[in-house]
Structure 1
């Protein structure tokens, strides 16, 4: 059956907006949104929000170089504004880091609702084969509730001890850590605690957290293609490692805003939503006065309380699901920023004041300015030239690389009119990445993303990674590429410096760029192979 655009808008609950909305969300953005989303679209003023406030937010985060990858703003369950900074896009998943914790918490909520466990169950009761020979009094007291509220009693985050122990049994490593404080009394941010919540689900249910959530949360909300990193034994990491799309983050927040209801059906109990988003312990983090600090407003069940009566799930480098009950709003953000607090400040400084009433008089000019901005977002390309006299000397030539810890034996660069194919041969074979000259070219690579990540855990079965790459000549002898691994938060720069028949190839991951530190990988050196 053929449905025209006007009929589709009406079926999507947007009939009142008619073709004006279709013009506002035009082109690929509209098509992708309608193809993958159950969330209706609206205009900011129709939901009582000024377009100018959202535009000010976008302009401000760009001016402050906060490196957002995506933004979605909802009010009353409708998307008012959405944008992706190219090469990021609506159809791409994105690494959530610790925003994953709020999803793991929800899995516990489903299990509690189903009577499979309670928040007062003792942790050692789930893992009798992994407990230490001597069980301390504090370890014996530790409950599911203490894992949820980051008050396990550990003096520091247990995660490094799990990952760096050299042992495959992370549960046993966690239970072996000293529990210095009485559980429930001392807050320390502890991703290992969330990992144990994931392990509990797998122990009790017989499914991973991802498998458990799929029919209960992901399918009802129309979340497709989610994946989750695992430990050495195939247990989802829980505290990090989930990947979903920006709109999926927004749907998750909307479910919580609607107190567990979705399309008129109860998904998760209201009692759990209330309990999970209430502060149970004084949180720590951030800087400055408590009243100005979104990390000191209290902590719930893997949710942070915020200023202005809001709460959020968040992840490293600026992955946000912000729920604002007073304003009936949800804001989803992905990014790679070194200043997470600054993003929240911009939300409070620009989007929050833009909320006025249930409906405002349309400001067509401001709506058009916002539309133009949101549909033309892009991360900046490196400044440089698309050509160099060096191309004729190096294009297609194979450079033998001296022995190195990366086990790279050969590289080559083959230039075309608008692209460059970079080839690298190591002990695992030959890998190719095509970079656009002063533009993005998307593709796949079988190069490992592990060196780029904060937490070195794999996605099961992932052998190829989506990538967008561009390159430019920053001077006559130096070609620099940016490789964005566009379903992660990260990128790296690859600099190829030529001197007669010699080459130097330097890698620098984005976390090193953010932290102004040296990349741990060696500079590759070599010469034209005879």
Structure 2
């Protein structure tokens, strides 16, 4: 059920032709766009999905999650549970702290976690995520600079905000926000990754659908008010979305306009929550508008450039050249010859890959069965066959959940190779896996569209 009213663009002071031109520009751009929703004056005036992606599917938001953790912090501050100037070390037990507490660690406050000015030289998340004791690892790291003096994007800092909130509220951040934010917004589909030590990871891992994120954008525009109720203090969002610290040391122009409490400032007096590979909740306070984008790209600046070039003029009421909207917004399945018949044997792999591939079986009918291991060491199978996208499911990250995430597969033949394409459509991730059998072993050459590590790999099956 729709939670936001719909309207024609013209009724909200926008040109439908200008929005058509914006959609056309997104469709023609290098970044792969998956869903888009635009709000103006509290109304949805544009909503598009590039098939097989759907506006109604939950989508992994990566670091947009940070803006929700910021919201939880604001609520806890309003409740008197903590303040921005509380010492970070004050929330943790002696056995979690290092034997020697440096002056810089002692000086680290909650505000430094929220503004990414903890004093660390680099993001701490890699050091944390490899260990079950993430709190203890964070507190044991060297703090090279005086807190508050240097901006370094630091997802580990947001994890510590989540950990502090859990200590204070007795609830994981997701559960704390459910009655206070997610349920009032109708975002009941929300899930959030939990660390090995049982804490909502805070800085990443939240999944909600496009309209739920649009509701959050509208809540920001309304300074925390929703359906006549003040869900979040207006003063918190005013502070959180304002420039709290300078971040001139960043490279891209829209990432060096200042940073708030887990919100980025942007050009043209905008602010946003954004996440890896092109997830955006972009707010235009001057124009009472919010834009939601889910996508898959390594060039997030390119998406913002398209927004400034094609959407901003429409919001400003400028004349925009008419460009026809594409008749169909679609990310079609790859096409090619039918695969040759397989030998029906299962080839197993022990080398780790970004996809989690553990086994492949190519059957005589030209289909392939690919097995993957997830983060909970559960193995799930995906059937890859020629033709249009074939929809299947994989287990949710929540190991106790009964439902699954949508996955789309297709395959074609390339000489003696079986080429499978897999879209985990509730994430940005797409993999192309080229499988060849020779001399009793299989080699898989993998190519993934986006990744925090290598985007290509080659593995060979066990003898």
- Counterparts of 1:27-42 in structure 2 under 5 Å? 35=1, 37-42=2-7
Change (3 A) 1:408 1:185: closer
Cα distance in 1 between the residues matched to 2:346 and 2:44: 53
Change (3 A) 1:478 1:300: same
Cα distance in 1 between the residues matched to 2:288 and 2:462: 57
Say whether residues 1:222 and 2:186 are aligned partners. Answer: yes
Deviation of the 1:383 alpha carbon: 3.6
User: Secondary structure of the residue that 1:494 maps to in structure 2?
Assistant: strand
Q: Which residue of 1 aligns with 2:461?
A: 524
The structure richer in helix per residue is 1
Cα distance in 1 between the residues matched to 2:407 and 2:43: 31
Q: Which residue of 1 aligns with 2:173?
A: 209
Q: Which residue of 1 aligns with 2:447?
A: 508
- TM-score, scaled relative to structure 2: 0.90
Q: 2:308 aligns with which of 320, 344, 348?
A: 348
Q: Which residue of 2 aligns with 1:384?
A: 336
- Counterparts of 1:126-275 in structure 2 under 5 Å? 126-129=91-94, 130-164=96-130, 167-275=131-239
User: Secondary structure of the residue that 1:398 maps to in structure 2?
Assistant: coil
Deviation of the 1:104 alpha carbon: 0.3
Say whether residues 1:102 and 2:59 are aligned partners. Answer: no
| Greater mean deviation of Cα atoms: 215-224 or 59-68 | 59-68
User: Secondary structure of the residue that 1:152 maps to in structure 2?
Assistant: coil
Cα distance in 1 between the residues matched to 2:100 and 2:152: 24
User: Secondary structure of the residue that 1:468 maps to in structure 2?
Assistant: strand
> What is the alpha-carbon root mean square deviation over aligned residues?
2.9
Change (3 A) 1:66 1:286: farther
Contact 2:360 2:369 in 1 (8 A): no
Q: Which residue of 2 aligns with 1:470?
A: 410
Cα distance in 2 between the residues matched to 1:462 and 1:504: 34
Deviation of the 1:503 alpha carbon: 4.7
Task: Could you list the structure 1 runs, at least 4 aligned residues long, displaced by more than 4 angstroms after superposition.
Answer: 406-410, 423-431, 498-503, 514-517
Q: Which residue of 1 aligns with 2:369?
A: 422
Contact 1:318 1:336 in 2 (8 A): yes
Deviation of the 1:502 alpha carbon: 6.7
Contact 1:52 1:354 in 2 (8 A): no
Change (3 A) 1:175 1:499: closer
Q: Which residue of 2 aligns with 1:487?
A: 426
Cα distance in 1 between the residues matched to 2:143 and 2:285: 36
Residue by residue over 1:302-339, the C-alpha shift from the partner in whole angstroms, topping out at 9 and shown as x without a partner, is 00001111100001111100000001000001111010
Q: 2:384 aligns with which of 400, 420, 435?
A: 435
Say whether residues 1:313 and 2:273 are aligned partners. Answer: yes
Deviation of the 1:432 alpha carbon: 3.0
Give the length in aligned residue pairs.
454
Residue by residue over 1:36-65, the C-alpha shift from the partner in whole angstroms, topping out at 9 and shown as x without a partner, is x21011111211112232222222233232
Q: Which residue of 2 aligns with 1:4?
A: none
Contact 1:411 1:425 in 2 (8 A): no
User: Secondary structure of the residue that 1:511 maps to in structure 2?
Assistant: coil
User: Secondary structure of the residue that 2:254 maps to in structure 1?
Assistant: coil
Say whether residues 1:338 and 2:298 are aligned partners. Answer: yes
Residue by residue over 1:153-203, the C-alpha shift from the partner in whole angstroms, topping out at 9 and shown as x without a partner, is 112111111123xx4211111111111222112111000000000001100
Say whether residues 1:58 and 2:18 are aligned partners. Answer: no
Contact 1:314 1:321 in 2 (8 A): yes
Residue by residue over 1:109-141, the C-alpha shift from the partner in whole angstroms, topping out at 9 and shown as x without a partner, is 111111111111111111133121111111111
Cα distance in 1 between the residues matched to 2:316 and 2:248: 32
Q: Provide structure 2 residue ranges, at least 5 long, that are not aligned to the other structure.
A: none
Cα distance in 2 between the residues matched to 1:425 and 1:71: 30
Deviation of the 1:471 alpha carbon: 1.5
Change (3 A) 1:325 1:409: closer
Residue by residue over 1:394-426, the C-alpha shift from the partner in whole angstroms, topping out at 9 and shown as x without a partner, is 2xx42243774369566233647xxx3525499
Cα distance in 1 between the residues matched to 2:27 and 2:334: 16
Contact 2:347 2:461 in 1 (8 A): yes
Q: 1:398 aligns with which of 344, 347, 365?
A: 344
Contact 2:60 2:207 in 1 (8 A): yes
Cα distance in 2 between the residues matched to 1:471 and 1:209: 41
Change (3 A) 1:498 1:54: farther
- TM-score, scaled relative to structure 1: 0.79
Cα distance in 1 between the residues matched to 2:379 and 2:192: 27
Q: 2:362 aligns with which of 385, 388, 412?
A: 412
Change (3 A) 1:503 1:157: closer
